[in-house]
Structure 1
Amino acid sequence: MSNLIPIEINDQLQQEVSARKLHEGLGMNRDFTNWFKYQAEKLSLREGADFTPILAESTGGRPSIDYKVPIDIAKHICMISGGELAHQIREHFIQAERAWNSPEQVMARAVQIANQRINSLQLIIEEQKPKVIFAEALETSGNSILIGELAKILRQNGIEIGQNRLFEKLREEGYLIKRGESYNQPTQYSMEMGLFEIKKRTITNPDGSVRATTTTKVTGKGQIYFVNKFKKQIA
């Protein structure tokens, strides 16, 4: 009987059978489509919850509709069908279900699921590793850049913003000073976060006088911070 009604294991590690093969194994005279429709109505089966429609190869080579049904639903169909064949098939399902739910099989499935999750996590780690290495290298490097260069990096990451608009936004959100002698220099808040650094230098004028200049630069940590921040805003 197991050759007539094979039991399959789906992606959720659940036992299921082909409704067409069950219809054939039960020796039903009624055509498959109307037979299954009757069973679904009688048992109040819901598509997606109690059965899944699929396309299967027919004997003529053209796709035909089939349904995957859980083994417990298949047992119910056998029970209401009646007859010796239905009884034998139902007993076959009961034995298969009993073996599937034995402590050894349950433990084996638990190990399989755990291994699948570990493999999935390892794939995620491998995919993220280059990004993590790049971020860590950028954060710890001394490669500070001008705010205009940050605007270019943001555009490369899908954030359409120019240099002037970026300055304006950084002032609006409290990262740069809005007015006064320190206009466009980092606020205490952003300096404490390590997002910016100030480069100071002195310039000797032609008349011999000396003047000091300051340039605001975005640190590696700041570059990562602002790319992530602005990407979230457009998500």
Structure 2
Amino acid sequence: MSELVKITEQNGQRAVSARELHQFLEIGRDFSTWIKGRIEEYGFIEHQDFEVFTQFGENSIGGRPAKEYALTLDMAKELSMVEKTEKGKQARRYFIEMEKIATQAKTLPFNKNKELQAELFELIRNNLVKGDIVDIAKEKGLNKNTLKSVLYYGNYNDEIVKALYERALSNKNKLRSELQIMINELKR
């Protein structure tokens, strides 16, 4: 879907310029009257639904600097809807679609992270030997069932995962070293 109104993101918050939305919706009234009227009529709340800031710089028509409004996507959708025009409907659908895309983008890393965790735990399990869980539990002053809950049931704990990983890596390196010794012995 092509960009109808620019959506910006700052500090994890997505926002729309009220001035750009006003322009896209082709509102007949001037911007200042329209935005103030809509805020009052629909009970929008500053710092929750929108932020106001002064645009500094040269004002082409003179006078005071223009006030800018950064709207949440929810407020932008509602403003688009209440205009009851084809442009309003188009903008509302656009904001809904952009929210879906943003939501999908946020869930992908989480799912990918879960896949990576599962792969890591499988590799750790494949490289642990009998007695490792009991030994690590004693070293860390933990119950062996706590380690098992991390390793087998995904109850993630950084400290325990690191200890399990280090033991699995040590076992793998030790096995590799022992295999090399056996190979060298057999080659003689």
Q: What is the TM-score when the length of structure 1 is the normalising length?
A: 0.41
Distance 1:16 1:36 in 2: 15
Which residue is 1:23 aligned to? 22
Task: Tell me the CA shift for residue 60 of structure 1.
Answer: 1.8
Task: Tell me the CA shift for residue 61 of structure 1.
Answer: 8.5
Between Structure 1 and Structure 2, which shows a larger proportion of strand residues? 1
Quickly say closer, same or farther: Cα 1:54–1:16, change in 2 above 3 A.
same
SS in 1 for 2:47: coil
Distance 1:58 1:91 in 2: 35
1:66 paired with 2:65, answer: no
Which residue is 1:105 aligned to? 106
Task: Tell me the CA shift for residue 92 of structure 1.
Answer: 0.8
Residue type at the aligned position of 1:6 = K
Quickly say closer, same or farther: Cα 1:35–1:58, change in 2 above 3 A.
farther
How far does the alpha carbon of each residue in 1:86-107 deviate from its partner, in whole angstroms, 9 at most, with x for none? 11111111110110011x4245
Quickly say closer, same or farther: Cα 1:108–1:61, change in 2 above 3 A.
farther
Quickly say closer, same or farther: Cα 1:41–1:58, change in 2 above 3 A.
farther
1:14 paired with 2:13, answer: yes
SS in 2 for 1:101: helix
Which stretches of structure 1, 4 residues or longer, exceed 2 Å deviation after superposition?
1-4, 55-59, 104-109
Task: Tell me the CA shift for residue 18 of structure 1.
Answer: 0.3
Distance 1:73 1:100 in 2: 17
Distance 1:53 1:91 in 2: 25
Distance 1:58 1:17 in 2: 22
Distance 2:20 2:58 in 1: 12
Quickly say closer, same or farther: Cα 1:108–1:8, change in 2 above 3 A.
farther
Larger Rg computed on CA atoms:
1
Distance 1:58 1:94 in 2: 35
Of residues 70, 74, 84, the one that matches 2:86 is 84
Which residue is 1:187 aligned to? none
Alignment of 1:43-192 (within 5 A): 43-56=42-55, 60=60, 63-102=65-104, 104-108=105-109
| Identity between Structure 1 and Structure 2 (%) | 31
Q: What is the TM-score when the length of structure 2 is the normalising length?
A: 0.51
Distance 1:25 1:2 in 2: 13
Distance 2:61 2:9 in 1: 25
Quickly say closer, same or farther: Cα 1:108–1:53, change in 2 above 3 A.
farther
Residue type at the aligned position of 1:7 = I
Contact preservation (8 Å) 1:58, 1:64: no
Quickly say closer, same or farther: Cα 1:2–1:16, change in 2 above 3 A.
farther
Give ranges in structure 2 of 5+ residues lacking alignment.
113-188
Task: Tell me the CA shift for residue 47 of structure 1.
Answer: 1.3
1:32 paired with 2:34, answer: no
CA RMSD of aligned residues (A): 2.6
Distance 1:96 1:58 in 2: 33
